[in-house]
């Protein structure tokens, strides 16, 4: 995803999430679009945090970036709230058999 920055972005950034996880953001193809404004493709991945995470990324940056790109390309999984909202929208009024069947498929995530 294209993202704008106020300065040239680092190759990667590690952010702790809670006590056990970390979000790693990778910036690629950084271009200065005008004085002091940069744009780059950003890919993110969330993993379990380890003490040597930065060292592991530095040793094999290309593989980590590739993994983040693959993760970014996956279709996001619908949350339970999204599935319920889809179901409620579908069954408002008197549903037909086909609509009920579709509602069951939404609930089952199929």
SS3 (DSSP) at 78: coil
Tell me the pTM: 0.62
| Domain ranges (residues) in the chain | 2-73, 76-110
Cα 78 to Cα 13, 86, 89, distances in angstroms: 27, 10, 15
* pLDDT 10s digits, 37-73: 999 999 999 989 988 999 999 999 999 999 999 887 7
pLDDT at 91: 63
Query: CA-CA distance, 21 to 15, in Å (whole number)?
Result: 9
pLDDT at 76: 64
């Amino acid at each position: 995803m294209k993202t704008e920055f106020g300065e040239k972005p680092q190759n990667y950034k590690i952010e702790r999430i809670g006590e056990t996880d970390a979000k790693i953001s990778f910036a690629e193809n950084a271009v200065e679009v005008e004085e002091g404004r940069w744009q780059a493709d950003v890919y993110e991945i969330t993993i379990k945090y380890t003490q040597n995470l930065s060292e592991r990324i530095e040793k094999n940056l290309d593989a980590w970036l590739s993994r983040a790109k693959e993760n970014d390309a996956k279709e996001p999984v619908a949350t339970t709230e999204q599935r319920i909202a889809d179901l409620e929208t579908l069954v408002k009024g008197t549903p037909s058999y086909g609509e009920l069947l579709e509602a069951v498929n939404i609930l089952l995530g199929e």
